[in-house]
A and B are shown apart, each in its own frame.
Chain A
Amino acid sequence: MAFRNYILVCGGTACESSKSDDIYNALIAECKAQGVADEVQIVKTGCFGFCEQGPIVKILPEDSFYVQVKPEDVPELIAEHIIKGREVERLLYVKEKKKHAKVEDIEFYQKQFRIVLRNCGFIDPENIEEYIARDGYIALEKVLFEMTPDDVINELRTAGLRGRGGAGFPTWMKWNFTRQASGDLKYIVVNADEGDPGAYMDRSVLEGDPHSVLEAMVIAGRTVGSNQGFIYIRAEYPLAIRRLEIAMKQAREMGLLGKNILGSGFDFDIEIRLGAGAFVCGEETALLASIEGRRGMPVPRPPFPAVKGLWGMPTVINNVETWANIPVIIAKGGTWFNKIGTQDSPGTKVFALTGKIRNSGLVEVPMGITLREIIYDIGGGIAHGKEFKAVQTGGPSGGVITIENLDTPIDFGSLTKLGSMMGSGGMIVMDEDDCIVDVTKFYLNFTVDESCGKCSPCRIGGRSLANLLEKITKGNGELADLDQMLEIGQAMKKASLCALGQTAPNPIISSLHYFRDEYLAHIVDKKCPAGKCKSLISYYILPDKCIGCTACARKCPTGAITGERREVHVIDQAACIKCGVCYETCKFGAIEVR
C-alpha cells in the first residue's frame, strides 16, 4: 500500500535523549486521532547527523526538515502539514532569515557526501526490508554467485580503501593476508569499541544502518574462508546492541545469515561480544584478548592478527566505518570509489564535529576537503561569536591544528604531516576560552587512566607527563619542564608496546609546537591567557561597570563579595575560590578575569 506522506523521526541516541521517542508515539496517536493513520507512515530512523538541532522530524515527499521538535508540536504538524498541506514554518530550520524547507538547501548537508551514512536517517534500522529496498544485500549476492575471492580482493585493491579506525592500513592487504594464511578456522571481527572521547560515528552507523556491517562481514567471511564473525561492541551502547540483535535475527530469518546463505552452500554466523569500558581494547590485539575473556592487554606485533589472531587463528579485524564502506564498493565497483577523495586516501570520512562549533553533529565528507570547509561551511563557524583557536583531531592520540593550516586538504597523510592524525574521526573545535595546556592535560590524564600498565614507557612515562602538566597549570612550572616533557615523549614513542603509549605524547608535542607561547605564559608570567587554570587567575570587579545590583554577591558560595546596594562591590581575594559564578551571573560585564 502506498502512503501519502512519510514522517521520518530521528531515533539516534542524541535525539532519543531529547524525547524523540515521545514524538514518535505522539505522531502515531495523533495520526489516529485526526483520522489519517492509513495515509501516513511513521518511521523511526537512525541518526540524521545534525545533532545540534535535534530532535529532527522530516516529512516526505515534501522533504520538509523540522528541527527541535517537541511532543507538544505534533498535533499542529499533523493538522497543518499532513491534513492542510501547509508547512509549519516556525519549526523549519531557519538561518539568516531565509527559511530552509528542504534538506539540500541546508549548508550543513551541502558539502557532505554520504557513503557510510548512506542509510542513516533514511531507513528504519529495525526493518531489513528497508535496507534491502535501498540495494542492501546486492553486494553479498554478487560475491556469493558472481565473484571469486580474488575478484573481491582486487576490487578492494582498486578502491584503495584504508582502515578507518585510525592507522589507515590498506583493507585489501589485511584481507589478503588472512585469505592466504593456512588453516580451516578463521575469524572475522568488527571493532565497535569506540573509545575516543568525542567520536560517535560507529555508534550512529550501528544504530542507523546495522545491516551494512552484517552484510560486509558475510562478504569478508566468504572472501577469506571464515564461517564465524564477532562484533566487539561497547556495553555503553545499549541501543546499538539492541538494533544489531534485531538485524541479526531478521537476516537469519531471510537466509542471509546462518547455514547455506541464499542457497550458496556457504555458512556464516555472527556473535556479539561486549566490551567493558577499556580504551586500550580499541587496539586490535587487546581487543582480541578481551573477546577471549581476558584482561585487554596488547601483545607485540608481529605476528599480526591477520595471520595469528583470535584463539591463535587468522583473523580479519576492521573498524565499523571500514565495514560500512564494503557493500558499496562491491556494488558500485572499486573504480567508482577510487575517484572519490584523494590519491592518498580514496573515499570519504565521517567526522564527529563537536566542541565550540555552531552546528555540531556527524558529517561525512570526501577526503581532500579542507578543515575550513568543514568548520565554517558545514559547521557554521564558532559558536557565540568567539575567536577560533585550534581544532583537535585524532583524540588522545592526535594533535592540534591552528588557523594557518585550515586550508590543508585533509587525508591520512596530510594530517600526520601537520603533527596530528586522522584517528577515528573526532574533530574538536576550540575557541579563545579554551586553555591549550588544560586540554592537553585532559588528554594525558585520559591516557594515564586508560594505560593497561603492561609496558613501563607508557605506564611511567604517561604519569610523569601528566604530573608535569599538572605542575604547570598549578603555576609551579619551570622552563626545564618543557624539554623534559619532550624527552619523555620521545622515549614513549619509541619504546611503548602499542599505539596507545606510542601516541600518548602527541598532544604535548603538537601543542608545544604550535602554542609554545601559551606554555610560557603559564610558566614565566604565571598567567593562563584563556582564564581556565584556576591557580593562575583572579576575578576582579571593574568599578566603572559595576552598578551594585548585588546579583554576584547573592550567588557567591563563600560570601567573598561585599558591597552595599547600588554601590561598587569588591571581591575578597583571600576568600575567593575562583568558581566563576560571579562572572557567569553578572549581566553588565563588570567582572574581569586576570
Chain B
Amino acid sequence: MKEESAFPKELIAFIDEWKAKPGNLIMVLHRVQEEFGFISRESADRVALMLDIPLATIYGVISFYHFFKTVKPGDSNIQVCLGTACYLKGGDALIEELTNLLGVAEGEVTEDGKFSLEGVRCVGCCGLAPVLTVGGEVFGKVTKDELPGIIAKFS
C-alpha cells in the first residue's frame, strides 16, 4: 500500500514540468488521482504547497468536477452507465440489483474494500446499452442475471 502523502519521483517531475504553465491545476489533479486512485487531504495539501495555490481553491475545483474523488475507491470500481440510452434499457435496474448484491449504495465502497459502485454519465457505447464497466473493462447488453457472474470474475 502506497503512503498517501509520498509522491513518487515521476509525479513530482510531472508537477515541476507543469508548474510554470497557466491553468495547470486540473492537469496536476488528474495526475495525482491517476497515481493514488483518489485525491486525499494529504495529497491536496502537498499540491497546494507545490503549486502555491490556496487549498480552498483546490477543493473548489475537486468538488466541482464529478471525475475527482476524495474517497479511495474499491479494488474494482463498478461504473454503471446512466446515459439516456442505457437508462431506457434498464441501467437503473442494474444499479438497484448491484446495490442488493454488494450491500452498498451508489457511491459507496464494500466493507472488504473490493468493490465500489457508481453511476456514471454516458461511457459512449450506446450501441451496447445497457453498459457497465469494471476496472475499465466494458460489459455490454448486460442483464440482471449476468451480474453475479461479473462480480465473481473480479472477487
Which A residues contact B (CB, under 8 angstroms)?
13-14, 16-18, 51-52, 54, 194-200, 203, 235-237, 273-279, 290-296, 311, 352, 354-356, 360-361, 392, 395, 426, 428, 430, 434, 439, 442-443, 446, 452, 557, 579
- Tell me whether A354 and B127 are in contact (CB under 8 A): yes
Q: How far is the CA of A413 from the CA of B124 in the complex (A)?
A: 27
- Tell me whether A356 and B88 are in contact (CB under 8 A): yes
- In the complex, whether B30 has a CB less than 8 A from a CB of chain A is yes
- Tell me whether B83 and A197 are in contact (CB under 8 A): yes
Q: Contact partner of A273 among B23, B126, B131, CB < 8 A?
A: B23
- A51-B125, A51-B126, A52-B127 known; A293 vs B85 contact (CB < 8 Å): no
- Tell me whether A198 and B66 are in contact (CB under 8 A): no
With a cutoff of 8 Å between Cβ atoms, the chain B residues found around residue A430 in the complex are 88
With a cutoff of 8 Å between Cβ atoms, the chain B residues found around residue A13 in the complex are 123-125, 138
Q: Contact partner of A197 among B27, B66, B122, B137, CB < 8 A?
A: B122
Q: How far is the CA of A199 from the CA of B86 in the complex (A)?
A: 12
- Tell me whether B84 and A392 are in contact (CB under 8 A): yes
Q: Contact partner of B61 among A17, A279, A293, A311, CB < 8 A?
A: A293
Output the nearest chain A residue to B65 by Cβ-Cβ distance.
A276
Q: How far is the CA of A194 from the CA of B122 in the complex (A)?
A: 9
Q: Contact partner of A274 among B27, B85, B125, B129, CB < 8 A?
A: B27
Output the nearest chain B residue to A557 by Cβ-Cβ distance.
B100
- Tell me whether B124 and A360 are in contact (CB under 8 A): no
Q: Contact partner of A428 among B66, B88, B125, B138, CB < 8 A?
A: B88
B134-150 interface mask toward A, CB cutoff 8 Å, 1 = contact, 0 = none? 00011110000000000
With a cutoff of 8 Å between Cβ atoms, the chain B residues found around residue A291 in the complex are 23
- In the complex, whether B60 has a CB less than 8 A from a CB of chain A is yes
- In the complex, whether B15 has a CB less than 8 A from a CB of chain A is no
With a cutoff of 8 Å between Cβ atoms, the chain B residues found around residue A354 in the complex are 84-85, 126-127, 129
- In the complex, whether B99 has a CB less than 8 A from a CB of chain A is no
Q: How far is the CA of A225 from the CA of B139 in the complex (A)?
A: 46
- Tell me whether A17 and B121 are in contact (CB under 8 A): no
With a cutoff of 8 Å between Cβ atoms, the chain A residues found around residue B26 in the complex are 273-274, 276, 290, 293
- In the complex, whether B94 has a CB less than 8 A from a CB of chain A is no
Q: How far is the CA of A414 from the CA of B22 in the complex (A)?
A: 43
Q: How far is the CA of A439 from the CA of B87 in the complex (A)?
A: 9
- In the complex, whether B36 has a CB less than 8 A from a CB of chain A is no
- A17-B140, A354-B85, A392-B84 known; A277 vs B66 contact (CB < 8 Å): yes
Q: Contact partner of B122 among A51, A196, A278, CB < 8 A?
A: A196
Output the nearest chain B residue to A584 by Cβ-Cβ distance.
B144
Q: Contact partner of B64 among A278, A352, A439, CB < 8 A?
A: A278
- In the complex, whether B82 has a CB less than 8 A from a CB of chain A is yes
- A13-B138, A360-B127 known; A235 vs B67 contact (CB < 8 Å): yes
- A197-B83, A360-B127 known; A294 vs B140 contact (CB < 8 Å): no
- Tell me whether B64 and A452 are in contact (CB under 8 A): yes
- Tell me whether B88 and A197 are in contact (CB under 8 A): no
17 interchain pairs, CB-CB under 8 A = A13-B125, A54-B128, A236-B67, A274-B27, A275-B65, A276-B29, A276-B66, A278-B64, A278-B65, A293-B22, A295-B61, A295-B64, A296-B64, A311-B22, A360-B85, A426-B84, A439-B88
- A235-B67, A278-B66, A355-B84 known; A198 vs B61 contact (CB < 8 Å): no
Q: How far is the CA of A302 from the CA of B24 in the complex (A)?
A: 26
- Tell me whether A276 and B125 are in contact (CB under 8 A): no
- In the complex, whether B109 has a CB less than 8 A from a CB of chain A is no
For the side of the interface on B, what is the size category?
Answer: 35 or more
- Tell me whether B126 and A360 are in contact (CB under 8 A): yes
Central interface residue in B67, B137, B139, B140, by most chain A CB within 10 Å:
B67
- Tell me whether A236 and B123 are in contact (CB under 8 A): yes
Residues 11-41 (chain B) with a chain A CB within 8 angstroms: 22-27, 29-30
- Tell me whether B122 and A277 are in contact (CB under 8 A): no
Q: How far is the CA of A311 from the CA of B23 in the complex (A)?
A: 9
B57 to chain A, nearest CB (A): 8
Residues 51-95 (chain B) with a chain A CB within 8 angstroms: 60-61, 64-68, 82-85, 87-89
Output the nearest chain A residue to B126 by Cβ-Cβ distance.
A354
With a cutoff of 8 Å between Cβ atoms, the chain B residues found around residue A198 in the complex are 83-85, 122, 126
- Tell me whether A442 and B127 are in contact (CB under 8 A): no
Q: How far is the CA of A426 from the CA of B27 in the complex (A)?
A: 29
Q: Contact partner of A51 among B64, B68, B127, CB < 8 A?
A: B127
Q: Contact partner of A18 among B22, B65, B128, CB < 8 A?
A: B128
B134 to chain A, nearest CB (A): 11
Output the nearest chain B residue to A434 by Cβ-Cβ distance.
B88
Question: 18 more A-B contacts (CB under 8 A) besides A14-B126, A237-B124?
Answer: A14-B125, A17-B139, A51-B126, A51-B127, A52-B127, A197-B121, A198-B83, A198-B85, A198-B126, A200-B125, A236-B67, A274-B27, A278-B66, A293-B25, A294-B23, A352-B126, A355-B89, A452-B64
- A197-B122, A430-B88 known; A14 vs B127 contact (CB < 8 Å): yes
Q: How far is the CA of A14 from the CA of B26 in the complex (A)?
A: 28
Q: How far is the CA of A564 from the CA of B139 in the complex (A)?
A: 39
Output the nearest chain A residue to B84 by Cβ-Cβ distance.
A198
A103 to chain B, nearest CB (A): 18
Q: How far is the CA of A127 from the CA of B99 in the complex (A)?
A: 44
- Tell me whether A54 and B84 are in contact (CB under 8 A): no
B154 to chain A, nearest CB (A): 16
With a cutoff of 8 Å between Cβ atoms, the chain A residues found around residue B23 in the complex are 273, 291-294, 311
Q: How far is the CA of A293 from the CA of B29 in the complex (A)?
A: 10
- Tell me whether A355 and B30 are in contact (CB under 8 A): no
With a cutoff of 8 Å between Cβ atoms, the chain B residues found around residue A452 in the complex are 64
Q: How far is the CA of A386 from the CA of B143 in the complex (A)?
A: 20
- Tell me whether A273 and B140 are in contact (CB under 8 A): no
Central interface residue in A203, A277, A557, by most chain B CB within 10 Å:
A277
Q: How far is the CA of A290 from the CA of B27 in the complex (A)?
A: 10
With a cutoff of 8 Å between Cβ atoms, the chain B residues found around residue A293 in the complex are 22-27, 61
With a cutoff of 8 Å between Cβ atoms, the chain B residues found around residue A194 in the complex are 124
- Tell me whether B67 and A200 are in contact (CB under 8 A): no
B80-118 interface mask toward A, CB cutoff 8 Å, 1 = contact, 0 = none? 001111011100000010001000000000000000000
With a cutoff of 8 Å between Cβ atoms, the chain A residues found around residue B84 in the complex are 197-198, 354-355, 392, 395, 426, 428, 439, 442-443
Output the nearest chain B residue to A294 by Cβ-Cβ distance.
B61
Output the nearest chain A residue to B121 by Cβ-Cβ distance.
A197
